[in-house]
Structure 1
Amino acid sequence: MLAPGKIPPEKLKEIVFNRLGTPDERVLVGADLGIDASAIDFGGRVLVASTDPITGAEERVGFYAVNVNANDVSTFGARPKWFLVSILLPENSDEKTLERIMDDLHASASKLGIAIVGGHTEVTPGLKRPIVVGTMLGEVEKSKLVTSNGAKPGDAIILTKWAGLEGTSIIASEKSGELEKAFGREFVKSAKSFIEVISVVEDALTAAEIGVHAMHDPTEGGVVNGLHEMADSAGLGFVIHSERIPLREETLRICKFFSLNPLALISSGALLIASPREKANEILRALAEKSINASVIGEFVGDPTRRAIVEGGSERLLKRPESDELWKVV
């Protein structure tokens, strides 16, 4: 039986990556471990495409769909520009449900300068909640293309904003009554507001302008899974330091309340950057000028079996999460 969340890497290799249709020489980056978008050669420019579903939230699914997919495209150094969306509604949904989703899609796309250019909408038997599946397209000059698999040994690992942002917001929305009793209404309101900073488009384009080796937004499985995916795709290991990982107080308290690991909680809004060591401080300064919090949390190493976290001066193996912590709650 497969666990909820992303399919394990070994199953992707066994079942998915050997069934990819006809090879095409114009595909510069295709489906592989740790790769969240594809890149297709259009001469002097590259088309970058990504697709993701929103399955773990009921509120503001349109907002999540636009931003999560825009994030993936921007990690390639590309500006997201065109969006296609499939909206699957449960039986007995009313027009107001569709209207709310479309309002969110329209507002979110407009804010990022993205055109919604097509898609599909239906009522689907068997669903318990709406599911929105988006496909984002963007473009970048060929010489400025960045990929998820370009990290090199010795690269600094930069994390922008805070770990667990999206998961904190979703849990605060889905479990608001329970959390208000424990922590109060203002606490829950603050935690819900994390949804407003889940875009990493500005983070990614700012860092790419200075020069990076790889970028990746940690979604399902959080920062830990994101690091494993970057390491998988580059054939590397990593060492991170627990005390350097930025976490909001709301995330810490909610995770403690539900016995969750915040580093394995879906983390859209944060961005992992593999930076040449000599450019790390310049990237941090550029992000700070745009009021984007960022920290160097560790480095990539040449040994692919060394994937570790340092806590209290001791280094221990950091295993890949079997599934996102969110699924234990929602």
Structure 2
Amino acid sequence: MSRIAKESLPAKQVCENRKGKILEKLEDEVHKVNKLRGKLDHRKESKAFEEEEEEEGDKVEKANESWLLTTEYYKNIDTKAFRQYELACDRVKQFYEEQHAKQTVAYNIQARIDFKTKSRDKMSVWQGLEKLNKLLDDSDPDTELSQIDHALQTAEAIRRDGQPRWFQLVGLIHDLGKLLYFFDSKGQWDVVGDTFPVGCKFSKRIIFPESFRKNPDFLNPLYNTKYGIYSKNCGLDKVMLSWGHDEYMYHVAKRSSILPVEALAMIRYHSFYPWHQEYAYGYLMDEHDKEMLKAVKAFNKYDLYSKIDQQYDIEELKPYYMELIDEFFPGKIIEF
């Protein structure tokens, strides 16, 4: 406004204009202070969340101390030689950066809708294993072997220890959900890798947690609190885990097999390392989950520590596992 224009205004109007500018400036300053306070409060909340998570994780760990490795074979395993992500190659690190940025609530809802409304392929379990053999898992730092080699290593380790037949079958098919890669996946980030809940705060116990900052849900107030869209002890059945081969194969097996609930839990949660190895998200568990955790941990040692260079003769073992498959998948031809 020019000087002449200002002088032509009544003194009262000039005073009101000045007051308006002062109030506007004051409002800006208050907004800046509130924004800074919000950041500080968020840091305090995050620190409190991490401390509380640490305490609750310790409680879960102590509750399951009796579920230890018991066989002589696993007593001699160097467990520290596995899951060395600090030493992982760039391929593994880049995979998790992409996975953590793209596994959002919106994507997970759409993936589940697609699963329920689409028919991908029909084949036997063994045909699925043969098809899966073409995939190299970019998220795994422990093995370069084919998928069927890993499946047989796991199943044979379980069989060697005299575990139930259904348990042996889980060893064979636990990664069969990676068939998603050949159907409607967006890459490998929505098929393989460790799983974690979406819709609530990402735990610091997830591998490479800093990469979640690129996830749109990271700053969303609906999803970035301790419970997010869930409630205390709601049960993992009500929690949406990041979509991938675990969740996919769990639903396929639940629909098409007569496997017991322990087997289904092993399939669904075997990549949920923040839970069964790092004891995160204990506050979402119900009593049923505590029992399933024991089953998942019993399976995990076979899944992880069977990753060695030894390869089995596939054709020699095929008749035994074909019989096992038919026992628990009576329909034989499965809708994937």
TM-score for the superposition, normalised by structure 1: 0.23
Bigger Rg, which one: 2
In terms of fraction of residues, the more strand-rich structure is 1
In terms of fraction of residues, the more helix-rich structure is 2
